[in-house]
Structure 1
């Protein structure tokens, strides 16, 4: 075997590619195949022939559908693509020579100790490398959850706990990194519902989990710029939640749809957001009501309706005040008074009320950890916009610069989209050194 060099052997420089290193470490062979074709011109038909996989299966894997889990097939892929065994957790392959570079689950080269905010960059890269295999949060293997083809009544709760732990990836990674993970979880649960047997009660619980997973996948799609996929997943979530009789999740699915709609049809966004609150109802958990009223406030603010915005924010605050330590759904665990302050500041920014927005955002962001890099960079963009409205150009440039630093390397389209109009407004003041510096940073 050592004398044969397959036509699918990956070039050494591609093995050093940050994305390829992460995909190999995560056993995300679909991404490995996709990069092999896009970066090295290795066709899927050649990969299929060398790996003894049907060509349509190779294409499906590259689109994020399915996974490779058997030892035999992983070893075969390693040999066909000349991936060193250590990089996949295998023993050295027969074709390896003493000078074959060892790649034991490497981190991308850019995560170095000299990077700005280096610790957080390394943290993001490590989690990103693990996310494709669902390993970043140390979860148990739930790939074979059933006895025969029957789902136990305990399994939906186990699956919900897994979903909650995977949700933590969104704290540090953007949707471009998490979408495939969340979509895979949703598709796996959908297959369980289709292929297995269960009681009516267990079926409703599975549908509720499916609705939750669809929302998480939809959010990652939205964050990664896949808006059509996001809409489809939110609609699927709403259908599943209604069938599961889970009013809270049905309301949240509508709130997600409203968040998308308000950027185009503001009246439709308000209508859907109001419907989301009504769907969840007054008996929903306080955290759920707080979240849905926050999103209603946002819809009103984008439409330029200050009185309605203030009423919705007040309703959200009243709901948060009701939380007395009782258990809330995990998907609203991030909603607290500080987060409500941030949403309030965002709303007042949209309404061009900088005297209210600036102190609110400054106070809230002082308590907001840099580990939430994507979200903090987004929130800083609203602070920068309010500074500009107030005529504080230098302060706006400072906030914009920090937002650019935090968003660097985060796989989300939203920070740069949010900063684009701020940068255009700042360009009118390019004669100021602080502005010239941040404009150059944005250009680079």
Structure 2
């Protein structure tokens, strides 16, 4: 793309206008298209051709009907209109001139230029369907017989691919993870194997479906995520893998709770029951913390604290026990962050702030998406406590970390925090953060 200037490129002066910047930040592409036609004389048919959209679809958006939510389409529009990635929540696009990233005060060494380059390298790897250190694996041909060792080789590959989620958002990883899932599903359909090998393959399939479902959820593909979580649950039950079956339900609960609190609590409770008391300690810790979250969102203080205590007790048992790779990230820091998030939701800042501050101080900035999300809860609690300037400073850090991450969740999570900050826009520190969020 470098060096090519499409006929839909927006003039720099138009990109700097407040109404255009606000529309881009909100992904209000109907307004973007209207401004492009009225101010830059770019026709809807030309926009449609360059953005790979139907002209009728462009017209509907311009009339305020519908929205654009998928990462791929947002990236396509950004490239066609030559909108810098930062203005729509994306990483710098391939056609942009390289620039030194902004480095916020208080950041650690992992967010310097090397950290940004490392994230870009992983992103390129994901786009090619690769990961650093990915185990060699020869895919069996249709109709061939699969040996008993193949499922574990596939599980090792799945574990390595999971590490991409540490540094990338679902917009980058979804197609990679979905491809792995579809490949294993085809293998189960077309190859021959013994019954134990088939059960092991189903277990891996359940794991891959959860991985793809999480990337779909993170990238804003909620319907796809639901379907993958449900498919994962079916595969795990058929495989006799109670731990994975419980985790599939925990994922569903996490997705459901924002729309239906009681349903979310019910699914989260079932996830603990389905995994059972013999599940690995790390698995029980994860499922109990997800149950705590469901209760916190519903405003249930006592039940939240009880679930957090159960998660802590399970985590204490984890030392020396073999844990599935998919719970390897569940540690004391993770549980402390979930504890702080729960108390934030329950509007208990005196409990939330100390635990979040301590946990986030030891949380690597290289995990940009997750740290940005977690900082949003810290900012929220500071606002509840009346510490507006501190909330603004934390929100600024979250915005910096979220820049260039292909995930819809940081922007969604920061939106209500920014709305609350807007009530204090007379303060210079707040004005600076609000301006940064818009630009």
TM-score w.r.t. length of structure 1:
0.76
- Give the match for residue 238 of structure 2: 243
Identify which of structures 1 and 2 has the higher relative contact order when contacts are C-alpha pairs closer than 8 Å and 6+ apart. Answer: 2
- Give the match for residue 232 of structure 1: 227
Q: Counterpart of 2:148 in 1: which secondary structure?
A: coil
- Check the 8 A contact 1:223/1:412 in 2, yes or no: yes
Q: Which has the larger radius of gyration?
A: 1
Do structure 1's residue 13 and structure 2's residue 8 form an aligned pair?
Answer: no
- Check the 8 A contact 2:372/2:402 in 1, yes or no: yes
- Check the 8 A contact 1:383/1:396 in 2, yes or no: yes
- Check the 8 A contact 1:208/1:240 in 2, yes or no: yes
Taking a change above 3 Å as real, the CA distance of residues 111 and 211 of structure 1, as seen in their structure-2 partners, is farther
| Aligned residue pairs, count | 355
Taking a change above 3 Å as real, the CA distance of residues 382 and 41 of structure 1, as seen in their structure-2 partners, is closer
Cα separation, 2, equivalents of 1:380 and 1:287: 24
- Check the 8 A contact 1:108/1:125 in 2, yes or no: no
- Check the 8 A contact 2:142/2:187 in 1, yes or no: no
- Give the match for residue 313 of structure 2: 318
- Give the match for residue 118 of structure 1: 113
Q: RMSD of the TM alignment (CA)?
A: 2.4
- Give the match for residue 70 of structure 1: none
- Give the match for residue 394 of structure 2: 399
- Give the match for residue 205 of structure 2: 210
Q: Give CA deviations for 1:120-153 in whole Å, capped at 9, x if unaligned.
A: 2211111111113332223244252469611111
Cα separation, 1, equivalents of 2:433 and 2:142: 59
- Give the match for residue 368 of structure 1: 363
| Structure 2 alignment gaps of length 5 or more | 7-47, 55-71, 74-92, 103-111
- Give the match for residue 88 of structure 2: none
- Check the 8 A contact 1:250/1:279 in 2, yes or no: yes
The residue correspondences of 1:96-175 to structure 2 (distance < 5 A) are: 108=94, 112=98, 114-116=100-102, 117-145=112-140, 149-175=144-170
- Give the match for residue 194 of structure 2: 199
Cα separation, 1, equivalents of 2:392 and 2:302: 31
- Check the 8 A contact 2:143/2:190 in 1, yes or no: no
Cα separation, 1, equivalents of 2:248 and 2:143: 33
Cα separation, 1, equivalents of 2:355 and 2:415: 23
- Check the 8 A contact 1:111/1:122 in 2, yes or no: no
Cα separation, 2, equivalents of 1:425 and 1:266: 23
- Check the 8 A contact 2:2/2:95 in 1, yes or no: no
Cα separation, 2, equivalents of 1:408 and 1:118: 14
Cα separation, 1, equivalents of 2:297 and 2:52: 46
Cα separation, 2, equivalents of 1:41 and 1:428: 40
Taking a change above 3 Å as real, the CA distance of residues 324 and 146 of structure 1, as seen in their structure-2 partners, is farther
- Give the match for residue 303 of structure 2: 308
- Check the 8 A contact 1:377/1:402 in 2, yes or no: yes
Q: Counterpart of 1:239 in 2: which secondary structure?
A: helix
Q: Which of the numbers 358, 381, 384 marks the counterpart of 1:386?
A: 381
| Structure 1 alignment gaps of length 5 or more | 1-9, 16-36, 44-61, 64-106
Taking a change above 3 Å as real, the CA distance of residues 369 and 111 of structure 1, as seen in their structure-2 partners, is farther
- Check the 8 A contact 1:262/1:270 in 2, yes or no: yes
